[in-house]
Structure 1
Amino acid sequence: MASSLLVTGLSGFVGRHVQAQLPSTWQLLQTPQLNVLDSASLNDALVQGCPDAVIHLASQTFVPESFRDPQATLQVNLLGTLNVLQALKRHGFNGSFLYVSSGDVYGRVDDQALPISELQLPQPRNPYAVSKVAAELLCQQWSYAEPWRIMVARPFNHVGPGQRTDFVVADMARQLVRVKKGLQAPRLEVGDVEVTRDFLDVRDVVSAYFSLLESGTGGEIYNVCSGRERCVRDLIEQMVQLAGVEVDLIQNPVRFRLAEQRRVVGCAEKLLRDTAWAPVIPIKQTLQDVLDEFQAQL
């Protein structure tokens, strides 16, 4: 018999991939539209019975938005998490809980400390990262108080079909398809493209979450990343080749982010050791799939 699974944020970028990749060993708990800031909404979702496991995805994820409205970011990401935990307790939950945090919590890390492991102390440099660290600590406190198996995932940059154009790969793909169709001049507006990031296909991220539910250790924090450092400029140039167009890159200061970490690469050895998970989707396929999606939309 399949184990029941509750996923918050099911309609979001990652949530839609969770639905598409749901293993046969799991049965998704069908719930009304969840609002983590509304206790009644959470109670309605759990009235049919408590799940065996939870993946808590629902959050405000866009860093610039967290600067514009830090209060709303903290309400959703911290108080929303508290509401989920309290609702589960009211309904007798006693299973596995995976809190999805972010690799952004590490903040600025010296080059000599790369790749970033879970031993690196968080140094949040934006309200979004602060909200994620706070929610991690909340989950840690609950793991001491409740007999639940609570784990924290810290995914680094994940990309793939279905991502909003607030994020660089989706934005570049949309612009490239517009150029190819003659809807935009052959130029891409970009931010700081000389930074490096650890990009992972969202479908590999989702498989990591299911691996953690199956065999992760309670009370532990896990990086979810590729372990490979990639320059944003190189990714854009690879997309340009895949799209078959010629463009100029035009830097727009408006697109530069505050508190920018120049280099990012994570270490996923702990996740690999505890669950035997490994990424399988090459970055070229990821970029092609994102381009194909915008090609179909436009």
Structure 2
Amino acid sequence: MIAVDSMLKPRALITGIKGFTGRYLAAELQSHGWDVWGMGTQPGTADARYSCLDLLDEPRLHTVIADVKPEAVVHLAAIAFVGHGDADAFYRVNLLGTRNLLAALAAAPKKPRCVLLASSANVYGNSTEGVLTEATSPNPANDYAVSKLAMEYMARLWMEKLPIVIARPFNYTGVGQPEDFLLPKIAAHFHRRAHTIQLGNLDIWRDFSDVRAVVQAYRRLLQVCPAGVTVNVCSGRTHSLREVLDMMERISNHTMDVHVNPSFVRTNEVRSLCGSSEKLRELIGDWDVPPLEETLRWMLGELPHA
């Protein structure tokens, strides 16, 4: 376990710290006594605790790791939008970039005491109905999911050298998530009081979490560091898109015409996908996700005024 002593702050390194999840995780760790450092590909910051670099730049990556000497590492840097146009990029960043990071950590004079890799529940695919546990067989259905599953298998080659924990987050959202993702898209349409919105299948149930709960789970996994474990991070509750729309209508007092765009409907998509968070709670103790309506209310309330 990594103890957080207010007199001597443990140092955490977050890859992808400028991204949606990274910003929340940095704030979560800082508020619990961590000295937070980061790296990413976004330039233009004078923060001495931030390094702008590409994970494919192996020499610089080794230098930064040796300089920072992190006690804990959370690897968030990834191409996460499934519809990203460059399939090769999924493998360059999500697989090869992760391998370079693990190689640099293993070669560092001071090895971290915990390395948390953010994978994805997308590795389970869209064909297995019901509650998904960590024992559910992976069945990835797109390049993003394949790249994440390949990352998981590759990481196992380093588990004798590094204390690696693999997290499989299900869908999660919050203020600041790009409109490329479904719930921010819906929230933005209601906030603009748009007349219409185009969506896919409305009669599917999915497991949605709040980013604030997800980063809390990551922090607590870092502290207990169950090395070698793969664990779901999910609410264990499902909501249909129709329910999401109904919640948005109640919160905003606005209605829209919803058009189902056939090009947004996935073939052979299962009706309900729900994660089991039992293993997560066994590892970190009591943990819960705010009700989805509370998260949606937060998102609508924080969107900038037009």
Unaligned runs of 5+ in 1: none
**Equivalent residues of 1:229, 1:265 under 8 A apart:** yes
Gap change, CA 1:46 and 1:163, over 3 Å in 2: same
The corresponding residue for 1:254 is 263
What is the TM-score of this pair, normalised by structure 1? 0.91
C-alpha distance after superposition, 1:226-246 (max 9, x if no partner): 001111121122112111112
In structure 2, what is the Cα distance between the partners aligned to 1:40 and 1:253? Answer: 47
Matched, 1:214 2:216: no
Whether the 8 Å CA contact 2:28–2:219 is kept in 1: the answer is no
Q: Kindly state the Cα deviation for residue 110 of structure 1 after the two structures are TM-superposed.
A: 3.4
* 1:200-257 Cα shifts (integer Å, max 9, x gaps): 0011000010111111411010000000111112112211211111221111223334
**How many residues matched?**
286
Alignment of 1:196-215 (within 5 A): 196-215=205-224
Deviation at 1:52, TM superposition (A): 0.3
Paired position in structure 2 for 1:160: 174
Q: Give yes or no for the alignment of 1:64 onto 2:83.
A: yes
**Structure 2: runs of 5+ lacking an equivalent:** 1-7, 38-48
Please tell me the residue identity of whatever aligns with 1:191. G
Check the 8 A contact 1:169/1:236 in 2, yes or no. no
Mapped to 2, the partners of 1:14 and 1:41 lie a distance apart of 24
Match 2:243 to one of 234, 243, 257: 234
In the TM superposition, residue 297 of structure 1 has moved relative to its aligned partner by 4.3
Equivalence for 1:102: 120
Distance 1:105 1:272 in 2: 21
How many Å separate the matches in 2 of 1:161 and 1:80? 27
Q: Distance in 2 between matches of 1:246 and 1:213?
A: 43
| Alignment-derived partner of residue 14 in structure 1 | 21
Report the TM-score when normalising by structure 2. 0.89
Match of 1:116 in 2: 132
Of Structure 1 and Structure 2, the greater helix share is in 1
Checking the alignment, whether the CA contact within 8 Å between 1:34 and 1:45 is kept in structure 2 is no
CA distance in 2, matches of 1:221, 1:109: 21
Render the CA deviation track for 1:43-92: whole Å, top value 9, x for unaligned: 34324231001000000111122xx3221111110001011111212323
